[in-house]
Structure 1
Amino acid sequence: MRKLLLIMFAMVFVVSSCKLDESEDGDTGTDTGTGTTTTTMKITSPNGGESFSEGSSTEIKWTSNATTLLRIQFSYDNGASWYLVADSLVNSGVYSWFPLPTTISNQCKLRVATISGTAADETDQNFSITKSNSQSITLLSPIGGESWEAGSNQQIKWFSIGVDSLIIQYTPNNGITWSNVGKVVKNTGIFFWEPVPNTPSTLAKIRLLDADDSSPVVESPKVFEILPEPKIKVKAPNGGEVLVSGSDKMIEWESENIENVKIAYTLNNGFEWIPIIDKYPSTGFYEWKNIPIANSKLCKIRVYDAKDSEPWDVSDNVFSITNQTTQAITITSPDGGEAWEGGSSHAITWNSSGIKRVKLEYTLNNGLTWNQLVNDFENNGSYQWSIPDIFSSQCKIKVSDSEDAEPSDESNGVFTISQVPTLDLISPDGNENLIAGAPVDIIWTSKGIDNIKIEFTEKNGITESDWFTLVESTPAGVGKYSTSFTRASDLYRVRISDAKDGSPRDVSSSTFRVTQKPTIVVISPNGGENWLVGSPYDITWQANNIEKIRIEISVNGGKNYVNIDSNLVNNGYYRWTVDPAKINFNSDLCKVRISEFIASDPTSKRAVDETDTYFSIHKKEVEKLIRVTAPNGGENFGYNEFNEIIWASVNVDFVKIEYTINNGQNWVTIIDKYPSTGRYDWNPVDLPSSLARVRITDYFDPSVRDESDNYFNLTKKLPSVKIISPMQLQQLDVNTQTDISFICTEDIVKVGIYSSIDNGVTWNLVTYQNTPADIQHTFKWIPTQQTEMGRIRIDGYLSIDPNIVGASDTSDRFIVK
């Protein structure tokens, strides 16, 4: 039997070989027995004797009348084994073969056959594939545009010539840096990259290098994408919940780079999993309706990638499903620590079981009192709350069964409700009339704002560059900021805004006016004059921005004033005959006061000035009189300083001036004969005393004299610094050189000069400067910042110890524009 089978197999093989030989010979024609046309196939190139380099290309050509698809195969061992070159080809008669294999052989053959096997042909003779003298690598994949997931397995493919082993590298940043994918790999043309690293990038490339000498080298011509590694995290139910059979529950999860998910649940802590849904878009939410009838405390949810079940995640802890009527409520939000803004809308959420309708309440005082939100609300686990515009950091929510208030739950901790920020400028809001340099209060109301920024404009604020910052940040709750405006303009406005982010803001509804400050300077009498009762005298002054004035007189050193005249036109001149009704006795303590007169506000003191020092008014019958008015007790006169001796006199032409330092035991002449002008500049001697007096005597009649009523002090001159400029409200130009001028005593050998742009709150050192014996000094300074609150401070250091500040002076406020 076995022998019979072998004979039959041999006969079949012979017959088949004969048929194949007939086809392979490429003979065409008609079957003489049947008259039907046979399928023919004839390879024309290569057909034997050719020699090709590995990795090169050539065209395979044939002739055939086949109407079916063709297959091309290759053999490098004279037909002992065949390998596929191309499959399912249309019979075009030609195929571009690239690249030729890297198998070196002179026993190569090609076969072209119909897929149905009706016709085939092989090359008549062997051809050769020889080793190439050059090296090359061609990357086939990835070449750009691919999207590979981190953690997935991918194939890196290439073709090479003359290369034995390769190094494979990748870059996530388009070639800035490269990292090895693995160890040196054999040149197989394919590498399984598993897993793709979790380095998400849209600028990834692959690079191949010859392991021997790094040449040749090739990289992806374009970038491809490495997507983030897919992730899933179950959020709810996540442990501890109690779900009631037949109810609904929102299953929640977070995912990354997942298109669809599959969801399942377990009743036995993962021993078995029961599908809920096999494929659902990974939106992060799925409503699990009609929870199955079960009683288990070992339930969990599993969510995983619907494509290949990886990745996946399950509930962190078990929850319960019960078909028993168990009532429970657990608030999930807000549960403490939240910060919600009044006027916004937030969801109050809770988990519950066995409850149909609920009551919701809130507290602003940590539960001392409760306010009802809704009394009979369908228990769907969520309520959208429009939050009231209030402020409290002691807020809680309470949810209870609306039927009997049991069970109930409240937030575990307090949360905060903040008010909607509002800002309302009250004053100045438009049409006010303010005086330059006069105090003005900026007043506002606010809610929900910690600090405000205050700005002003003198040009109606048409462009943003017209606005200047008055203060960057000041507490909003104060509601008031005191300042003054220094320049005249009819187009002032104020703007206030949240110092944090500029919103909300409010601006004066219309412009207000700032006019120059009204000023009055009394010119005469201004001290030392001698007037007689009943005689006419000129009262003169200089006044600006004033229409009407009032004139008053005091005969007791300014303690009380009586009216001379009022509602006078401001012409700078008034002739007054000393009225006996105002004064009919002798006084050396007279002063004149001139003030602005406003009929609608008779007590206004917007502008006022008085004589600098006393003058005298006496009855006409007085023949001669001298009255010392300064020093007259209590003054401090310093050594090496010019101090004024002041007196009043009647009918005295020349005086003698003396001083004592021992209460009159001895008198020392200051000047023997001096015109009785009422003033004399005296530089005292260096003899300190607390018992000093001055005596003034009629040079021609020594019986007419007067002396200081009380002692004054003679002191050594103290170290001092006095700033001369910049002066009060002086306007300087930013980035333009200006002078800082000051005087100091000779015992100041060095000064430190400081500047401030915030009215002296903070100081910045400008320079240190030595001060030689000159009395006045000047420093060239360039202010670099605009400010309405500029000041200069100068600290003087003593010659006895240059590290000790012996004197200091601060300038009045000035402006830098």
Structure 2
Amino acid sequence: DTHSLDRPGSKVYYNGTLIHTYLPYITITSPNNNDLWTAGQTQNITWTSAGLENKNVSIVYRVVANGKPAGSITYLARKNILATAGSYSWNIPSDFPAGKYVIYIDQNIPTSGAEKDWKNISKVYVKIASPSWCYTFSEDLYSGVPKPKQVRALQTVLRAEELYGGDIDGVFDTNVKKAVQDFQKKNGISPNNGRFGPTTREKMNALYGCKEVKPSITVTSPNGGETWKIGETKNITWTASGLPNGDYDRIIVSAVDFSGGAIEYSIATLLPSQRSYSWVVPVETSQGNITGGNKFKIRVVYLALIGNNAEDYSDNFFSISAADSSVDSLSVFSNTTATSSPTIKLTSPNGGETWQNGQNHSIAFTYSGANRGKVYLYLINDSISDPSNQYKTIPIENGYGYAIYDISLSNGVYSWTIPNDQYKYSPGSKYKIRAYWYAFSNEGASLGSFSDTSDNYFSISVAGTPVPASCVPSWTYTAWSACANSQQTRTVTDLNNCGVTTGKPSESQLCSTAVVATCTDTDGGKDYSVRGAVKDTKYPNPYTADGLYTDLCYAGLKQIFEYYCDASLGYSQGEWRVCPNGCSNGACNKTVALVPSEGNSSQDLVASISAAIAKIAQQIQQLLSAGQ
């Protein structure tokens, strides 16, 4: 009783008894031995088979080190593809480690055991290249070193050298040491002791090191010849390449007037990924009024916490002209189209108050639609009719040169002591306060500029002048409630029961989650003129003995990196800050320094790098705590 004796897989019977079975087979037809494939590409693995109809097969690969299969088995397909399919399409990941591999196809590949015990086996060797991968080593590596990122890179290049067949797990074990020794022998490096030191590192960097790509920025609009009117909305655009896009890196946009030197007007601080900004050309800025002219350029700066910076200006001058007479210069700061857009409302002073030189008063406002951004405050003297008069609109100073407050920390109240300068802050009854809010989303994207002004005039009088008899509120308030439905509330009470709302602090604010403050700042927040140190008990700086984050000055860039406590989060954050008069000792100068500052010491630079690493570790811990 015989059937198809020439067919693999046929069975031979004698008098009804099975006496022989022809074994089935699989033969890989592509790739050929030692073909070269590239990470990031799709390749087809093909084969022929016989005697395996309706049978599934597995496809696996192993690393080859020193000419032999090594390491664990990795499945591409695990008994889920028919033998008769004859092909499998493999999308090789773009980050697949370069090296030599052996590919197996078999009906039943166990997770362990010797290759000789597998059945119906077919195998082929293939090399995989990863030309875009690079790494520049900067430190010695040796057994037990706690530097997993660099060790993973070392394991990757040793696999590419076909010397290491273990896992890429960041552990410098005996297998890695042996592979380093083999690399040293291969390249004539002595001593070949398995320590990844300077000589070995130099050779490895020559083979796999990254070529430095410096960041670059090019302003594309305005680039010369344009005329922009005050009150119009214009797009500032630029191109960029090579930006590392670090967590604390920023794009800083400004307008520079070269007609009388180089007066720089801040426009926006953005994320490195942004390539444009919609700018409402203003009359008033925190650096003074823009009166127009024909010698303006846009400056765009990429500022990196660690690494190279980049900047560019418009190639030629553009002009800024006065607004049309029909345009209200304040209306450009209002949003009249989207009802859900951020809004700000000045509540104190709002008309009828009398404030005195040399005394402290509360400027209060409410806001909605966002809970991040900066608020600029100005004193408007309407008894002066000439808009170009320097005392018509006066920035309210906080010791730095102009007022700038983080709205999430201010809770809508700013305590202002009117300077005892009766020429600049002359007695009068036609004063108003104007507040500009540059709002940001929780992701850091700009939402635009919004403003409000006192509804009616208040007065400023000389210190000691009797104030008209009236009830003066004495506000007290409870702590903020827990965050519910993105809102926090508190109870605000007037101890004098005046029955008015003048100067009343906000009773609600937006929030994300209720947090417990674990952070203190010696300069009280974002005081750019004072070098502060932040103590964060939740995420202390692990790279300093005292665990503090200390403000840093970069004199050559006229920038500081300011650490502060974020009340909405409950832990420390940091931001770059431009210093118009330069900086020294971790703080912005109030006036131009007579002697150029040396900026940071080497200790400051180490602290800066350490702080950046600490911030990355902090963010990882936050993700782990959130279960992400």
- Which TM-score bucket, shorter chain as reference? under 0.3
Q: Which has the higher contact order (CA 8 A, sep 6+)?
A: 2
Greater C-alpha radius of gyration = 1
Higher strand fraction: Structure 1 or Structure 2? 1
Q: TM-score, normalised by structure 1?
A: 0.16
